[in-house]
Amino acid sequence: MWKLGREEFGTKHFSVSAKGELIVREGNYQYNIYELAKRFDTPIEIVFPFIIEERLNDTLDYFKYYIRHYKYKGKFFFFYPMKANQNKEFVLPILSEGGHLETSSPNELWLVKRMWEQGRFSNTIRVLCNGPKTNEYLFLIEELKAKGLDITPVIENWRELEYLRNYRGDVGIRIEPNVKVDSHWDKQTDQFGLSIEDIKTIGRLRNLKMISYHAGSQIGKVEDLITPIRKVMSLYVKLKKTNPQLNLLNIGGGFSVNYEKNRKLYSLESATKKIIKTVKIIADKAGIAHPDLAVEWGRYLVAPAQINVYRIIAEKEIVRQNGNDNKSGARIWSFIDGSFQTQLLDTWAIHQKWHVTPANNMLANKFKKVWLSGCSCDSDDKYTNGGSYILIPKIESAEKEGINDPQYVVIYDTGAYQDALANHHCLISSPAKIIVQNGVITIARERETAEEVGQLYGW
Ligand SMILES: *Cc1c(COP(=O)(O)O)cnc(C)c1O
């Protein structure tokens, strides 16, 4: 019923205990989410770095396997786009498992500088810098290059092209592939990169090493991961003639996460296989060397590595009325002790639907349909704008709002994008953040106090 323990839904680590409580397994360790919620109180965000490590290793392994299988001559690099989640407990495991980094802003690059200075960086780690570049960003890139970091700025526009012609290292160029793919962005073109037509006119660029693109996020079909590759590879083949040092094709982000868990998505294996095969065929046909390959799959890597746990603090029935004032059905609203609009902003921004289950009473034999509401004073603070119910256990003895034995709910796959988009609407505090790894439970961040929130507003 809850679609737990299923690889194809990205829930293979989750299960329900004999007492009807949500369990997460990491090898021989297991963690009881209901117990954690009681111990640390809610709202909490629980981070599982082992899930990030596993997903990264699976990706590296599949690429390695199919590179050998197809006798592909290029190498593979996984660049983690830091904008998906910049928290330390997300970034450090990626570095230690062989991931490289991609930044979207000078402040993310400043974090890279910190890690470099603290010796958390091996010399084999590469950094790509995307995003429109302010002077501050360009100067920091040059500073880190001079200090010996393997750092490649990705050219976004003509100004950067002129500026970076004399850069003392490799550069990349971002292409707007102008391909319509079934994705979150749902539009054919965006404001990033240079058009294919424009790039054909740049001629020779001494230090051009990579071309990259980003076709969209949450790409729905495996064919849509492949179509832009075909288009961009034909440009790669042309550019390679005038720029023989070019040797890296970066296909950007967009690998999907199964948020709703209502159908199977394409698998990592099938995508890997198709990517390598597609590039190989085109390169062989054109008689050029197989390029090294890179991906920047952010959401894929980190979304499933965090859950948010809330407690239901109140419930009430509201009768909806139509224009004639006749009853047209009642809705049970369940209020959580956190907020969608401040902590899971995509609920509001892009009507994201999340997989939601209880954390306790999971073996109940009756369930009720409820509509979840956040605890801010904003009518948009609900799951989800547009309306969608979830099922929670119907417990006779807990009918009085569960004061002594609260009902907890879990929202899955919250590890990508929500943290940096989070805000303080109604001055609601950020939740506590807990890390669970190797049988050890640590508090990464305490729940924000009223005083800390007040300080942000000059109080
Ligand atoms: C946002 C972004 C990504 C990551 O996209 P996901 O959908 O999280 O995989 C990768 N590359 C670039 C250039 C981006 O802007």
Question: Of the candidates 246, 274, 296, which is a domain's last residue?
Answer: 296
Question: Of the candidates 296, 326, 355, which is a domain's last residue?
Answer: 296
Structural domain total, the chain? 2
Residue 6's Cβ-count burial label (10 Å; 0-12, 13-18, 19+) is middle
Q: Does a structural domain hold residue 66?
A: no
The DSSP call for residue 83 is G
Q: Are residues 397 and 370 in the same domain?
A: yes
- Contact in structure between 82 and 102 (CB atoms under 8 Å): yes
From the CA of 355, how far away is ligand 1's center (Å)?
22
Distance from C-alpha of 112 to C-alpha of 167, rounded to nearest angstrom: 19
Task: Output the domain CATH number for residue 175.
Answer: 3.20.20.10
- Contact in structure between 195 and 157 (CB atoms under 8 Å): no
Q: Are residues 329 and 284 in the same domain?
A: no
Q: Are residues 263 and 329 in the same domain?
A: no
Q: Are residues 270 and 369 in the same domain?
A: no
Q: Are residues 239 and 316 in the same domain?
A: no
Residue 10, classed as helix, strand or coil, is coil
Q: Does a structural domain hold residue 167?
A: yes
Distance from C-alpha of 82 to C-alpha of 107, rounded to nearest angstrom: 11
Q: Does a structural domain hold residue 25?
A: yes
Q: What is the pLDDT along the chain (459 residues), one digit of tens a residue?
A: 899 999 999 999 999 999 999 999 999 999 999 999 999 999 999 999 999 999 999 999 999 999 999 999 999 999 999 999 999 999 999 999 999 999 999 999 999 999 999 988 888 999 999 999 999 999 999 999 999 999 999 999 999 999 999 999 999 999 988 887 777 665 666 788 888 888 888 889 999 999 999 999 999 999 999 999 999 999 999 999 999 999 999 999 999 999 999 888 999 999 999 999 999 999 999 999 999 999 999 999 999 999 999 999 999 998 876 655 555 678 899 999 999 999 999 999 988 999 999 999 999 999 999 999 999 999 899 987 566 889 999 987 655 545 568 999 999 999 999 999 999 999 999 999 999 999 999 999 999 999 999 999 999
Q: Does a structural domain hold residue 58?
A: no
Mutate to test the pocket of ligand 1, among 83, 90, 152, 346 (most ligand atoms within 8 A of CB): 83
The number of the ligand 1 atom at minimal distance from the alpha carbon of 299 is 8
Q: Are residues 277 and 371 in the same domain?
A: no
Q: Measured on CA atoms in the order 401, 403, 405, 408, is the torsion positive or negative?
A: positive
Domain of 331?
A: 7-49+306-456
Give the C-alpha distances (Å, rounded to integers) separating 153 from 113, 156, 442. 15, 9, 36
The number of the ligand 1 atom at minimal distance from the alpha carbon of 174 is 13
Q: Are residues 367 and 413 in the same domain?
A: yes
Q: Are residues 200 and 341 in the same domain?
A: no
Q: Does a structural domain hold residue 2?
A: no
Distance from C-alpha of 353 to C-alpha of 388, rounded to nearest angstrom: 9
The number of the ligand 1 atom at minimal distance from the alpha carbon of 253 is 9
Q: Are residues 374 and 272 in the same domain?
A: no
The number of the ligand 1 atom at minimal distance from the alpha carbon of 184 is 7
Distance from the Cα of residue 137 to its chain's centroid: 23
Q: What is the per-residue DSSP string for 268-330? A: HHHHHHHHHHHHHHHHHHHT-PPPEEEE--HHHHHGGGEEEEEEEEEEEEEEEE-TTS-EEEE
43 cis-preceded (ω within 30 degrees of 0)? yes
Q: Are residues 261 and 320 in the same domain?
A: no
Cβ neighbours for 162, distance < 8 A, ≥ 6 positions apart: none
Q: Does a structural domain hold residue 277?
A: yes
- Contact in structure between 177 and 231 (CB atoms under 8 Å): yes
Q: Does a structural domain hold residue 59?
A: no
Q: Does a structural domain hold residue 244?
A: yes
From the CA of 116, how far away is ligand 1's center (Å)?
23
Tell me if 84 CB under 6 Å of ligand 1.
yes
Distance from C-alpha of 36 to C-alpha of 149, rounded to nearest angstrom: 41
Tell me if 174 CB under 6 Å of ligand 1.
no
Tell me if 216 CB under 6 Å of ligand 1.
no
Distance from C-alpha of 86 to C-alpha of 89, rounded to nearest angstrom: 9
From the CA of 102, how far away is ligand 1's center (Å)?
9
Q: Are residues 263 and 399 in the same domain?
A: no
From the CA of 218, how far away is ligand 1's center (Å)?
10
Distance from C-alpha of 94 to C-alpha of 53, rounded to nearest angstrom: 7
Task: Output the domain CATH number for residue 352.
Answer: 2.40.37.10
pLDDT at position 155, please?
A: 97
Tell me if 59 CB under 6 Å of ligand 1.
no
Question: Of the candidates 296, 317, 339, which is a domain's last residue?
Answer: 296
From the CA of 219, how far away is ligand 1's center (Å)?
11
- Contact in structure between 228 and 208 (CB atoms under 8 Å): no
Q: Are residues 292 and 310 in the same domain?
A: no
Distance from C-alpha of 413 to C-alpha of 90, rounded to nearest angstrom: 14
Phi–psi pair at 302, nearest 5 degrees = -110, -20
Give the DSSP H or E segment for 12. none
| The three-state (H, E, C) secondary structure of 314-361, written as one string | EEEEEEEECCCCCEEEEEEEEEECCCHHHHCCHHHHCCCCCCEEECCC
Tell me if 176 CB under 6 Å of ligand 1.
no
